Structure 1
């Protein structure tokens, strides 16, 4: 019996060993196939969308294969990856879209994205609830196919708002895929999986299919208005480097030229989070124009929703087109003429014609005094009843018109336009920044023996009174009803988003100042003669503050941390031995 038991035990061990080996082999295979940690720092996945005669737009490929998307996300990506059926785009077309991630599926951000968000400009922070899609669509005649056309899109899905970078990347990858098939996608994804972390402020070399993209990731410490360049160099000794714009800056002059005389009005609509529809004939013009509008209020973050390309198949279609309630504060980009009827109740509609070179022979679109499009074939223009609070800055318009007449490069015109928007936005925001700073308690009122002080609440009336001596008139010559514009701004998501961000920053600063005050205080003298309960309470508060500082990634200096631990040890030593043991072990 003993021999039989030993045999059975030996067999079980052998089986376990074999199973263990199989698990190790499978794990090593999995590790080799699906490392993808570095890849996911930049991209969620790549998709190929094709046209199926029975299904319509269909997901042909998701790479890497382990990425899971919900059916709703797949459906939105499929429909948004093809130009609208009425657009008739032939050849190759590039555009972008933005979709909402399904509720309940939003995961906490990874460490690299948290670090990026802490250090990048606020307007370029990752929103974990949304994906961007960067599309390269090809439609060509092909008589070998039943439909008579070859129709496919290659799409990069990412949470990063690096429009220029990803549009360039998909422009490199898609033609290779159309020529050589799936191996091209695999090669590109494996290249991306070697990339360093997208660290704000860093200049990175990113290999991609025989080229090297040299990218500088924007940082919150960058001086506003100064764009950083993305340089593309190839491995070939015969190819010269290609200079591209920054990872995110768009050609705002090209996009806004058709509505150039109305940029002050449009800036106010974007600033105050008004519902705006952009109608264009192609998804390229449509998506680029919406992104240009969103960028008009930089460095302020646009906190309402925006969809640079939107179709009737979108899962939010009913939500955004319902007449049962006022239009939501969203900027929509559409191409289907059907929307002219569906959205004619929207208060602000921008109808863009085909993009044409900005020349002195081309006149920008007119302002239409009406809040709706009455016919499906309405002419290009800005349709609104909105009366701007501020006067036009005729000087900047004059300089831009002179640039058109002298054939000034579009890049220079865009830089001038961005500078104008930056100066107006900063003139608007500086008084608000000053006022929020005044809500902070004075340094002398930060006591190491009390709790962290709080800021005073924001009082709109008190702020508006302060404009007489610290208003926008100090930094801009633009006249108008600034108070009326501020009152409207207070009611929108852009104000709420900015204010909440600033208060978080101020509270972080107060926590740091309070920790510094505690580290410099003579806590031993303070606890002398105090009740044990007060001493214990002080120690627990210090421990809680250090734990909170660590979990909230507060930049506590090494010197302050060491001082606090020494202070805590010295205070603990003043207590009876039994309490020392308990507090020392926590």
Structure 2
């Protein structure tokens, strides 16, 4: 996710040292739990250093009361440093994603529901993974035994705001490496003053005397191929830059992502690896990426054996790696994309070739997409020509990226629209929803019926690309993405059905209904109405405020008609 930075004027005495101390910052907010606002954005901040005896070592975790398991500490240590094969000198920024072990970690546990109900699916909080945003510095330093200063500053979050946290690190890390621990405490205290992330709102986030301005998209926002110029928005990584060597295979890679196929991305460094994996997993938007993905993965990871075993089929995961050893370890994987250092062929980026997996044999295997997969859709040659011409003419990156983003967005929408239309036809008619009967069931999704509907309502209505669309849908039905999409849509439809049922009850004549009903039936109605009301008030049902008020009035009316002893049971003091 991408968040450009809007620098504000540097405040008097700016920089990290100008921030209030932790104790004085807390005094103004005695009614809140410690680090409540900080926890809305970040889980913790870690510092990883190189120790001559231990190797990578966790030097600091802040806030200090945040609990990480030993396995998580070990993973963060290894994921915070580039692999020795990368040879990254200077400053490098990259991302990783790791499985969370265990339950609640701090005194303050953020309630995900309110945020997730408003955020697009792709921007929701990770329920079971931590996302790590790394700023690694390796520079020559004669005062250190090894001759190099090696340290990483890591922001650990469950929010997929890649560009926001990378922008934040580019402000914090250089000053932290100069001034160390007291600066980090001051920065964390500033973050602990930020407003909570709210989808649909533009937020000003002051840090170190500048202001980062960010707008988190809302679920109701209209999808656009490029964000508004003057609004700072979370958006996917710049796909054109990392896709330059694979432009000729973008549609094949889109199909592999759509079908949830296992893919290894072997890149020369963790920044290239993580950028490409994140670009691949975001190219299905607005469809949520439902498979596992690791922007940067090492042989020291606790899940290494689980993900590389040959005793079963490779899992549905996109794995970003930099160590050539993975070529040997993952030869049984069906798709391997090897990216080398950027090379030009004349004034155009050199495109990796499509090769058979059988040619993937040695550690020095040449760059290429090693797969036996044959794309279902024909390549959009006109788009490819425009993109390559844009590179040739040095067209600005944002224009190039908007071209590719629009193409992938239209491709995904053309694929999803027929599914959405068919799904909508499974919803019971509103006239069949009556107040005093359980709402009718959503009709089952029949794949053969859907495939038959494509003849007159298929992707050909919105997409000019030819190919085997039916074959693509058939394979999609077996993928985690169909399962994820169907579960989400079915859940939303069931909630809509329940909301319509609540509205139907609230529009009915409750007094007339109660005339010939037993006390048991009336009490049953109260309990069911209350249950619906609780769900609706918790934003789990899409109902208007007026309906909620009417439902509460109905409950009060019904209870008022009952004998005093029953009223006392239903309305305890």
Quick one: structure 1 residues 343 and 508, their matched pair in 2 at CA, closer, same or farther if it must change by over 3 Å? same
1:204 matched to which residue of 2? Answer: 203
Correspondence for 2:51: 52
Contact persistence 1:346–1:371 (CA under 8 A)? no
**Corresponding position of 1:335:** 322
Report the alpha carbon displacement of residue 583 of structure 1 after superposing the two structures with TM.
4.0
Aligned equivalent of 2:141 = 142
Q: Which stretch has the larger CA shift, 535-544 or 29-38?
A: 29-38
Residue equivalent to 1:365: 352
Shift of 1:179: 1.1
After TM superposition, give the deviation of residue 582 of structure 1 in Å.
Answer: 3.9
- Given the alignment of the two structures, is residue 96 of structure 1 paired with residue 95 of structure 2, yes or no? yes
Pair member with larger Rg = 1
The 8 Å contact of residues 378 and 466 in structure 2, kept in 1 or not, is answered as yes
Distance 1:549 1:110, change over 3 A: farther
Match of 2:65 in 1: 66
- The alignment partner of 1:42 has SS state of coil
C-alpha deviation, 1:181, in angstroms? 1.4
In structure 1, what is the Cα distance between the partners aligned to 2:299 and 2:308?
10
The residue aligned with 1:261 is 248
Question: Which residue pairs with 2:178 in the alignment?
Answer: 179
Instruction: Identify the residue that residue 154 of structure 1 maps to in structure 2.
Output: 153
Query: How many equivalent residue pairs?
Result: 549
Equivalence for 1:299: 286
SS in 1 for 2:418: helix
1:413 alignment counterpart: 400
| Aligned partner (choices 416, 435, 441) of residue 448 of structure 1 | 435
Contact in 1 for aligned 2:68/2:105 (Cα 8 Å): no
Deviation at 1:175, TM superposition (A): 0.7
* Bigger shift: residues 307-316 or 108-117: 108-117
* Aligned-partner SS, 1:131: strand
Counterpart position of 1:429: 416
Shift of 1:546: 1.8
Structure 1 residue 246: Cα displacement: 3.7
Residue 388 of structure 1 corresponds to: 375
Which residue of structure 2 aligns with residue 377 of structure 1? 364
Partner of 2:193: 194
- After superposition, residues 207-356 of structure 1 pair within 5 angstroms as 207-228=206-227, 246-355=233-342
Over the aligned positions, Cα root-mean-square deviation in angstroms equals 2.5
Match of 1:471 in 2: 458
Contact 2:88 2:138 in 1 (8 A): yes
Note closer, same or farther for the CA distance 1:112–1:289 as it changes in structure 2 (3 Å cut).
Answer: same
Task: Work out the CA distance in 1 between the residues paired with 2:544 and 2:348.
Answer: 61
| In structure 1, distance between residues paired with 2:555 and 2:221 | 39
Which residue pairs with 1:130 in the alignment? 129
Report SS of the residue matched to 2:351. coil
In 1: Cα distance, 2:393 partner to 2:520 partner: 79
- Residue in structure 2 matched with residue 499 of structure 1 by the alignment: 486
Please state how far the C-alpha of 1:177 moved relative to its aligned partner.
Answer: 1.0
**1:458 to partner: Cα distance:** 1.5
Shift of 1:32: 11
Q: CA deviation at 1:437?
A: 1.0
Judged with a 3 Å threshold, the aligned counterparts in structure 2 of structure 1 residues 48 and 575 are, in CA distance, closer, same or farther, namely: closer
**Contact in 2 for aligned 1:98/1:306 (Cα 8 Å):** yes
Normalising by structure 1, what TM-score? Answer: 0.89
Range that drifts further, 171-180 or 268-277: 171-180
Deviation of the 1:580 alpha carbon? 4.6
| SS class of match (2:361) | coil
Return the structure number with greater relative CO, CA threshold 8 A, min gap 6. Answer: 2
Q: 1:356 to 1:198 in 2, by over 3 A?
A: farther
Distance, in Å, in 2 between the alignment partners of 1:30 and 1:372 is: 62
Provide closer, same or farther for how the CA distance between residues 41 and 29 of structure 1 changes in structure 2, counting only shifts above 3 A.
closer
Classify the secondary structure of the residue corresponding to 1:297. coil
Structure 1: state its 5+ residue gaps. Answer: 1-26, 232-242
1:446-491 deviations in whole A, cap 9, x for unaligned? Answer: 1100123331121111111111111111110111111111111111
SS in 2 for 1:301: coil
Deviation at 1:567, TM superposition (A): 2.9
- Alignment correspondent of 2:506: 519
Q: Aligned partners of 2:468 and 2:424: how far apart in 1?
A: 24
Contact 1:283/1:334 (<8 A) preserved: yes
Per-residue CA deviation, residues 252-294 of structure 1 (Å, 9 max, x unaligned), is 0011110111111100000010000000111111110101100
Closer/same/farther in 2, CA of residues 107 and 521 from structure 1, 3 Å limit: farther
1:489 aligns with 2:476: yes
CA gap 1:429/1:108 in 2 versus in 1, 3 angstroms:
farther
**Runs of 5+ consecutive residues of structure 2 not aligned to the other structure:** 1-25
- CA distance in 2: counterparts of 1:455 and 1:371, whole angstroms: 47
Deviation, structure 1 residue 48:
0.8
Whole-Å Cα distance in 1 between the matches of residues 33 and 387 of structure 2? 51
Q: What is the aligned partner in structure 2 of residue 9 from structure 1?
A: none
- CA gap of 1:289–1:360, structure 2 versus 1, over 3 A, is same
93-102 or 391-400, larger mean C-alpha shift: 391-400
Judge conservation of contact 1:217–1:247 (CA < 8 Å) in 2. Answer: yes
Structure 1 residue 361: deviation in Å? 3.5
Q: Matched residues in 2 for 1:161 and 1:585: separation?
A: 45
Q: Give the whole-Å Cα distance in 2 for the aligned partners of 1:145 and 1:558.
A: 64
Counterpart CA distance in 1 for 2:515 and 2:496 is 30
